Structure 1
């Protein structure tokens, strides 16, 4: 294994000097990134709670999305890296009041360590300032009375979801984002840190006062913005392995100028090192904990919101993978399918598949399967990945529809006949709406 750093011991100073590489090939950069993300180890026979929490710590967050056509997004990154695990265990960690994880706007809506919420105190303050702008103040003023009542209610009754609030203002104002004033008020308080998440009930966010779920004074003793952003960039650098400034900023959705200042600080501290990556136009930085494996052994289907692909510019630069979600694209205009997941094999994104869990029939349905142009999709390996995925989902088998450049090969590797594509597969509507608390 080639390492990203060599140790040179200074006898006079009694110190260790780290001499870090300054160039990476495109293939090395991919392997660095995937190793930093936790890929490369063979899936364990049993995934313990400790293994799950270690996997979570490596990533730093799990993005939440309410669409449930195959599986909710936040379950998939740990399955991709660790193998089959009990989703109920992750539920206990993320969905309960006493679990170690809570929600906030970290990337998009995401689970983060509850103890990390103070790192986002500055963002809570920024949301409050934004909501006071002239173009937003009307909505804030409209719900002011409701917010006061909600805070009083939570103080007396304890944590609860929006649907449990009995109030004349708890009536939807329209479809999709037409939240009631109760829901709108709770989300305003959530953005500002006046309430926090206390798990979920039926995938609906449960709201609580900070003192009901956090350590006393946690948000009041938070680090200042500069310190917090520097820490978030440090964590992004460690999770990405090698990254441009835009990559680092995107991980926790930070401003470019704030990220640039943090990078300068981290370079001075010796935690990030400037590197040139073959084929990348922009300067990149290598985290000093990163390593360059000789190869990456990986077989996975990725959530659309997996950190490997959630920043589309990085996915295209690193893997040549142009990726767009087509959930909200009208069916006749979809290119690859409704809920399409990238296929990772070793250090390449070799294909994409549209998956649906058909629980009534007990089948994992491959509604489309595509090989990426210029890549080799190993159908036998993908077939084994799909078998493991079906088992993890509690399904009895895999069905493949005859649509896509790789459909026949995947069906052959699975030993199943191709099933004719049906128009109903093109007519999917989102399984849930933003009112279901994805955000």
Structure 2
């Protein structure tokens, strides 16, 4: 059966799947279990991505210490490859960890640095959690960084390779610095094991759960044949929809305003944003200042199931205010909508612990 959906229905599915309707989740773990992935990014124009992602869902009751607690003490979430993920995802990822690395260049580097690999593991096992700069670089072969992401020190590269193999893991953070340990002291040891095919199928189902509905062959979601096929009115794309999301497809969205970090997972799939929401979002962070229209790190404003504006604002640490440079209206706001956006700004500022200043 192919489900026939309107664009309104499709948008409702996405908004609910991303926990951005008025029915807010209760805590960090609930958000992580639904979204599967929460991006970590240090860019703190307003606040780091991982925290604004959670605040946009949970609201006033979210405190940043809650994330640290569930990661470092409760071990209900774990850090992997620049994201936080619920521990329920780890068993689904382990088959791919066992197959890592996929590319010959990485295989050759690891093979040439076999003794270095053993040194790093032995140091962590003997001395416990430590940052990368506390581990000696004994690499025999240096791999240059084509994009400038890595410096000459090979320890961070080795730690990340070992984490992708499931041998080491991020135990916690000291400020923004990652602290590493052997995986058996970070991950629970009673997690289930799955065959490769089952794990891949379940991963696809979790990705679709987070997306709600997505293009079948989208590289942003990689859902494969998960869920059910769907057609969306006016779209030529082939879609896959989470069957669990169809139960409320005719219910109107209880609208609220959500201010989203530019790296929020809701925004990753730009083609889907254009196709379903008619929202062509361009992050202007890397554009020359003269070419910027909305500001270098403008936060999209979602109202109900429509993107209605962009917030150009930043926390001025010297003045201790949330400085609002502009609220760009993509669609002219009604008076009530102005009030809703102002109220969300006030809530954001209260969460940050600073007053609002500038244009409102």
TM-score with structure 1 setting the length = 0.73
Alignment match, 1:14:
none
Q: Deviations over 1:223-263 (max 9, x none)?
A: 2332112111212222222222135x523xx4xxxx43xx1
Contact 2:75 2:186 in 1 (8 A): no
Contact 1:275 1:285 in 2 (8 A): yes
Alignment match, 2:244:
289
User: For the structure 1 residues 182 and 279, does the alpha-carbon distance in structure 2 shift closer, same or farther, using more than 3 Å as the test?
Assistant: same
Q: Aligned partners of 1:179 and 1:281: how far apart in 2?
A: 48
CA shift, 1:52, in A, is: 2.7
Task: State how 1:255-294 maps to structure 2 within 5 Å.
Answer: 259-260=223-224, 263=225, 266=226, 272-290=227-245, 291-292=248-249, 293-294=251-252
Task: State how 1:257-406 maps to structure 2 within 5 Å.
Answer: 259-260=223-224, 263=225, 266=226, 272-290=227-245, 291-292=248-249, 293-372=251-330, 374=331, 376=333, 378-400=337-359
Q: Aligned partners of 2:30 and 2:13: how far apart in 1?
A: 19
Q: Aligned partners of 1:250 and 1:126: how far apart in 2?
A: 22
1:100 to 32, 51, 76: 76
CA shift, 1:354, in A, is: 2.2
Contact 1:359 1:395 in 2 (8 A): no
Contact 1:160 1:207 in 2 (8 A): yes
User: What are structure 2's unaligned runs of at least 5 residues?
Assistant: none
Task: State how 1:156-305 maps to structure 2 within 5 Å.
Answer: 156-166=126-136, 176-178=149-151, 180-216=153-189, 218=191, 222-247=193-218, 250-251=220-221, 254=222, 259-260=223-224, 263=225, 266=226, 272-290=227-245, 291-292=248-249, 293-305=251-263
Alignment match, 1:405:
none
Give the length in aligned residue pairs.
350
Q: Aligned partners of 2:152 and 2:333: how far apart in 1?
A: 46
1:150 aligns with 2:150: no
Alignment match, 1:419:
none
Alignment match, 1:64:
40
CA shift, 1:176, in A, is: 4.5
CA shift, 1:344, in A, is: 0.4
TM-score with structure 2 setting the length = 0.87
Q: Aligned partners of 2:284 and 2:108: how far apart in 1?
A: 34
Larger radius of gyration: 1
CA shift, 1:156, in A, is: 0.4
User: For the structure 1 residues 68 and 139, does the alpha-carbon distance in structure 2 shift closer, same or farther, using more than 3 Å as the test?
Assistant: farther
CA shift, 1:222, in A, is: 3.5
User: For the structure 1 residues 179 and 76, does the alpha-carbon distance in structure 2 shift closer, same or farther, using more than 3 Å as the test?
Assistant: farther
Contact 1:23 1:276 in 2 (8 A): yes
CA shift, 1:390, in A, is: 0.5
Q: Deviations over 1:313-337 (max 9, x none)?
A: 1111111111122223332333321
CA shift, 1:136, in A, is: 4.1
Alignment match, 2:17:
36
Q: Aligned partners of 1:168 and 1:148: how far apart in 2?
A: 10
CA shift, 1:296, in A, is: 3.4
Contact 2:40 2:84 in 1 (8 A): yes
Query: 3-state DSSP class of the match of 1:250?
Result: coil
User: For the structure 1 residues 149 and 203, does the alpha-carbon distance in structure 2 shift closer, same or farther, using more than 3 Å as the test?
Assistant: same
User: For the structure 1 residues 309 and 246, does the alpha-carbon distance in structure 2 shift closer, same or farther, using more than 3 Å as the test?
Assistant: farther
Q: Aligned partners of 2:97 and 2:211: how far apart in 1?
A: 25
Alignment match, 2:31:
55
User: For the structure 1 residues 234 and 138, does the alpha-carbon distance in structure 2 shift closer, same or farther, using more than 3 Å as the test?
Assistant: closer
Q: Aligned partners of 1:136 and 1:42: how far apart in 2?
A: 45
1:89 aligns with 2:92: no
